[in-house]
Amino acid sequence: MPARTATATRPRSLEVTPLKAEPSRWSVGPDATASYARRDSTTEVEQICKRVYELDSLERARVLQALKEPAGEQSLTREHVLGSGRRIAWFLVLCCLGLIPWTIGLAVTLPRSYLVGNWPLAWTGFDIVLLVCLGTTAWALSRQRQVALPASMITSALLLCDAWFDIVTAHGGRCLVVSLMTAAFVEVPIALLLGVVSVRLLRANQRAVFGIGEHPSSLWRSPLGSAASNVAEPHRCP
């Protein structure tokens, strides 16, 4: 029986072609994972911003209101503000109804002339209040404070009242001429200027509530930013 010759066999070398693995957020290092997370979050933020910009001013205000306060506080604040506003509105309606007969009675019963013992105190006290309001308005406008809005409105109304009572309580002749000139060239122009300032401040606050860049509608038809139910209700996506 022929003897088998032992031959040394060399093992074959396997050639493995390296594969280029795509980086994933789980297999790569922390830096790459952070870059993927930043890219995804940026994309989501861009989509959210795009969606928000597509909304109109009222819906955008609802979104901003929903982000500012939790849902429970939203409903509580809305009910409290709306309830207080309605009660105050009905109270003012009653005041108007009561003022009508009061005004008619004064027109019928008041004498044409009346002697006042504290006439200097009445006018100096009014001028002191007007001075305080003017100073407050100047300070608030220079410091860009929200109190500039009510201060300018109150000061404008007081200046118009000052012009009115200066004219109707003045005697004829030189006193009446001085009152008319003061009202025409001092009190009424300043009152109109502060009225324009008040309207501009109201529109600026309106743009801040309903969205920057939006053209504000009429102040008579525009709802209150935080108290109106349309603004306070959460936005419902279609």
The answer on pLDDT for 51 being more than 70 is: yes
Angle at 123 between CA 198 and CA 159, to 5 degrees: 15
**Chain centroid, CA 147 distance in Å:** 13
Note whether 162 and 194 are within 8 A (CB): no
Q: What value does the mean pLDDT take over residues 106-110?
A: 91
pLDDT confidence of residue 162: 95
Which of 115-129, 141-155, 181-195, 210-224 has the lowest average pLDDT? 210-224
* pLDDT class of 227 with cuts at 50, 70, 90: very low
Residue that is written with structure tokens 């200066």 in the block: 166
pLDDT confidence of residue 42: 63
The answer on pLDDT for 233 being more than 60 is: no
Cα–Cα distance between 44 and 41 in angstroms, integer? 5
* pLDDT class of 139 with cuts at 50, 70, 90: very high
pLDDT confidence of residue 59: 73
Note whether 234 and 58 are within 8 A (CB): no
The answer on pLDDT for 237 being more than 50 is: no
DSSP state of 28: S
Cα–Cα distance between 164 and 31 in angstroms, integer? 74
Question: Across all residues in the chain, what is the average pLDDT?
Answer: 75
- Is this prediction's pTM over 0.85? no
pLDDT confidence of residue 16: 47
209 CB neighbour count, 10 Å cutoff: 21
pLDDT confidence of residue 148: 93
Which residue type sits at 139? W
* pLDDT class of 236 with cuts at 50, 70, 90: very low
pLDDT confidence of residue 202: 87
pLDDT confidence of residue 48: 76
How large is the angle between the packed helices 57-68 and 188-210, nearest 10 degrees? 70
Top-confidence residue, 199 or 227: 199
CA proximity to 77, closest of 88, 69, 86: 69
Q: What value does the mean pLDDT take over residues 54-72?
A: 66
pLDDT tens-digit readout, 21-45: 555 544 445 555 555 455 555 677 7
